[in-house]
Amino acid sequence: MKISVSTPSRICLFGEHQDYLNLEVIASAINLRFRAEGTKRDDRIIHVRLKGEGISREEVINLDEEIVYENNRDYIKSAINVLRRNGYEIESGFDIYMDSDIPIGKGMCSSTTMVVVFIKVLLELINHEDKDNPEKIALLGFEAEVTEFNEPGGLMDQYSSAYGGLLHLTFDKDKTVVEPLNTEIPGCFILFDSLEDKQTTKVLASAKYPVLEALDELKQYGIGSIRDFVDDEKNLAYLEKLSPAKLVKVKANIDNYKTLKEAEEMFGTGVDSVKLGELLKRHHGNLRDGLEISTPKIEEILETAYENGALGGKINGSGGGGCCYVYAYEKDAQKILDEVCAKGYWGVILKQDSGVRVDS
């Protein structure tokens, strides 16, 4: 019997560059998906065929031999090792075919979705009860992708993909708190590829570390988090202790946290499309001017979209290239897509989508 499963990519609505500050994120699953089909074999070989945008490879894994990693992103093998180490009994072999329409290396969590969908199809094939547990799948995915290779990374992508829909995530030091938001967002999102590779190392050096250093400098004044500036505005006086370079980045994170809280309140009462667009623009403005993670090509995409009716938009992912998206009324979506693509960029109209699932 063939088992078919899939899992979604995501866009980060609010909270970009806030997860590593132990703050919050609001993300939405979208209808770009990683798919997997699996059937049982009569031996103990797991044969994986993987195809997608920019990827094509095969993995042949013998369950009777030690599974050794060939590189630090050997995620198919790490997923099997993590499952077995956690007590999941994989006794027989399987033929698994995987494909995806998610852009690779563009901040669209293609690696995470590959790991999540692979774990999902294995749990379905061995008929384990955790196959229907999105939190367990997310945590197993995080262990296989991040913990196993001692890499930096948060849990936003794993939770967004496994749960689907619209999620509010709070990244406390000891636990990630997941709150599904039962809010249907009207209109649509339009994703665009800037055709620039992300400059992750450069972005982390310019956006992440100066803020962490600034918070460390302010510990002596009782400041432990960006939240402290929002919960008690008297703490804003301590900002004058920072250098100008760090000050602008901390201020950007303070306003982005305020923006997220305003959006959270709106999602609780119903979405005002114009306000959602304004909040997205405000968030991106802080990412562009404060954290300096945008690029001229991303700005060209956004400006062209605004000229043709988009309500708001922002960079998606860590920045320095990769993808961005805009939010618009459905009636304006095709015109926006056509005008931006006419400048040489790739784009696609998106809708909110469900999480990891079995497909008919």
Phi/psi of residue 318, nearest 5 degrees? -70, -25
Res. 56: pLDDT tops 90: no
Q: Are 113 and 213 part of one and the same domain?
A: no
In a domain, 311, yes or no: yes
In a domain, 129, yes or no: yes
Q: Which residues 6+ apart lie within 8 Å of 350 measured at CB? A: 11, 30, 31, 32, 188, 189, 190, 191, 325
In a domain, 33, yes or no: yes
Q: Pairing relation of β-strands 188-193 and 166-171?
A: unpaired
Q: Which domain holds residue 246?
A: 189-350
Q: Pairing relation of β-strands 346-350 and 45-52?
A: unpaired
Q: Are 218 and 154 part of one and the same domain?
A: no
The pLDDT of residue 171 is 83
Q: Which of 106-110, 279-283, 287-291, 342-346 has the lowest mean pLDDT?
A: 106-110
Q: Determine the Cα–Cα distance for residues 142 and 347; give it in Å rounded to an integer.
A: 29
Phi/psi of residue 225, nearest 5 degrees? -160, 160
Q: Are 202 and 326 part of one and the same domain?
A: yes
Q: Which two tokens stand for residue 236?
A: 């804003």
Q: Which of 16-20, 78-82, 301-305 has the lowest mean pLDDT?
A: 16-20
Res. 55: pLDDT tops 80: no
Residues 56-77 have a mean pLDDT of: 93
Q: Determine the Cα–Cα distance for residues 235 and 223; give it in Å rounded to an integer.
A: 8
The pLDDT of residue 152 is 67
Q: Are 221 and 335 part of one and the same domain?
A: yes
Number of domains in the chain: 2
In a domain, 93, yes or no: yes
Residues 79-86 have a mean pLDDT of: 98
**Under 8 Å between Cβ of 286 and 256:** yes
- Work out the mean pLDDT of the chain and round it to a whole number: 94
Q: Are 139 and 203 part of one and the same domain?
A: no
| Chain-centroid distance, C-alpha 62 | 32
The pLDDT of residue 166 is 95
In a domain, 357, yes or no: no
**Under 8 Å between Cβ of 353 and 359:** no
From 131, 166, 183, the end of a domain falls on: 183
In a domain, 355, yes or no: no
In a domain, 131, yes or no: yes
Q: Are 201 and 172 part of one and the same domain?
A: no
DSSP state of 291: S
85-107 tens-digit pLDDT: 999 999 999 999 999 988 877 77
pLDDT category, 213, cuts 50, 70, 90? very high
Q: Are 228 and 310 part of one and the same domain?
A: yes
Q: Are 159 and 222 part of one and the same domain?
A: no
Indicate yes or no: pTM above 0.75.
yes
Q: Are 21 and 99 part of one and the same domain?
A: yes
pLDDT category, 73, cuts 50, 70, 90? confident
293-326 tens-digit pLDDT: 999 999 999 999 999 999 999 999 888 899 999 9
pLDDT category, 10, cuts 50, 70, 90? very high
Q: Are 86 and 178 part of one and the same domain?
A: yes
Helix or strand run (H / E) with residue 176: strand 176-181
223-247 tens-digit pLDDT: 999 999 999 999 999 999 999 999 9
Q: Determine the Cα–Cα distance for residues 31 and 24; give it in Å rounded to an integer.
A: 23
CATH number, domain at 195?
3.30.70.890
Res. 127: pLDDT tops 80: yes
The pLDDT of residue 19 is 84
Task: Provide, rounded to the nearest whole percent, the portion of the chain with pLDDT above 70.
Answer: 99
Please list the helix, strand and coil fractions of the chain in percent, rounded to the nearest 5, in that order.
45, 25, 30
Rounded alpha-carbon distances, angstroms, from residue 186 to 2, 178, 274: 36, 23, 11
Q: Amino acid letter at 178? A: V
pLDDT category, 327, cuts 50, 70, 90? very high
129-158 tens-digit pLDDT: 999 999 999 999 999 999 999 886 678 899
From 122, 149, 183, the end of a domain falls on: 183
Q: Are 195 and 319 part of one and the same domain?
A: yes
Q: Are 41 and 129 part of one and the same domain?
A: yes
**Under 8 Å between Cβ of 20 and 154:** yes
Task: Provide, rounded to the nearest whole percent, the portion of the chain with pLDDT above 90.
Answer: 81
From 152, 183, 214, the end of a domain falls on: 183
Q: Determine the Cα–Cα distance for residues 40 and 1; give it in Å rounded to an integer.
A: 7
Q: Determine the Cα–Cα distance for residues 18 and 329; give it in Å rounded to an integer.
A: 28
In a domain, 359, yes or no: no
CATH number, domain at 156?
3.30.230.10
